[in-house]
Amino acid sequence: MEELKLEIKELIVSALELEDIKPENIVDADPLFGEGLGLDSIDALELGIALRKKFGIKFSTESADNRKHFASVDALAAYIMTQAGAETGK
């Protein structure tokens, strides 16, 4: 799980071309959007694209669900785990 979280953080930094911030500066439970990292809706879309590519996951068709998944590194990691579980469960 910790490894996955670090991977997500690295992806956030590289996919969003963040400057000055290192993956370890990102706090797992902090909100990614709005306050905290201060990311915006465009970043959410970009991050979505990067996550789809890297982890081969799909997001929900419901905006409300996606907002929850994108809330923090913790939430993202949990979502990727369930998605991966669903894949192997098939």
Partner 1 sequence: MLLGIGAFCFFSHSPLALKLYPLCINALLLAVFAYSLVPPKGKPRPKLPPSMAFRFALLADKMKPTPTLQGSLGEKRVAIYCRKVTIAWCLFFVCNGGFSLFSVFWLSDAAWALYNGGISYILIGTFFAIELALRKMTDKTLPKAIPLSAFTPNSRKADAVLCFSGTFSEKQYKTWKDFLAQTAALRKTIEATPQTRWILHCNDYWYFLLAYTALLQCKKEVLLLPNISKAYIAEIAADNASTTSATPDKPSASLALLCDTEEALALLECSFHVPRIVEAHTVETSTAQPSTADAKLAFPTIHPEEACIVIYTSGTTGKPKPVKQRLKELENDNAFVLSQWGEECLKRKVCSTTSPQHIYGLLFSVMLPFVAGIPFRRERIEFPETFTTLNDDSYLIVTVPALLKRAVEALAPPTQEAAPSQTPVGGGEKSDKRGVGLRSPWVFSSGGALPVETAAATEQVLGFWPVEIYGSTETAGIAWRQSKQGPEWRPFEKVHLEKNAEGCLLVKSPYIQNAKGFATGDKVQLLPHGRFLLEGRADMVVKIEEKRISLTEIENRLLHSPLVAEAAVVALEGKRQFLAAAVVLNEKGKAHFKGAEKFRVNQYFREYLQPFVENTLIPKRWRYVEALPKNPQGKQQKQALQQLFQPSENDLPPAKDEKLKTLLLPQGIFATVLRQTENEALVALAVPDSSLYFDGHFSGFQILPAVAQFELIEACAKQLFGPHMPLAQPGVQPSVHSARRLKFSTMVSPNMRLHLELQLEKPAQNAKQNLSFVRFALKSPDQNTFYSTGAIGYEACERKGL
User: What residue ranges bind partner 1 (CB under 8 A)?
Assistant: 17-22, 25, 33-35, 38-46, 48-49, 52-53, 58-63, 66-67
Q: Which residue has the tokens 């990292």?
A: 37
Q: Which is nearer to partner 1, 8 or 51 (CB)?
A: 51
Cβ-count burial of 6 within 10 angstroms (0-12 exposed, 13-18 middle, 19+ buried)? middle
Q: How far is the CB of 62 from partner 1 (least distance, A)?
A: 8
| Contact assessment for residue 19 and residue 13, using Cβ atoms and an 8 Å cutoff | no
- Please report the DSSP string for 10-72 in residue order: HHHHHHTT--S--GGGS-TTS-SBSSTT-B-HHHHHHHHHHHHHHH-----S-HHHHHHHTS-
Q: Which is nearer to partner 1, 22 or 81 (CB)?
A: 22
Q: How far is the CB of 52 from partner 1 (least distance, A)?
A: 6
Q: How far is the CB of 84 from partner 1 (least distance, A)?
A: 18
Q: How far is the CB of 7 from partner 1 (least distance, A)?
A: 16
Q: Which is nearer to partner 1, 4 or 50 (CB)?
A: 50
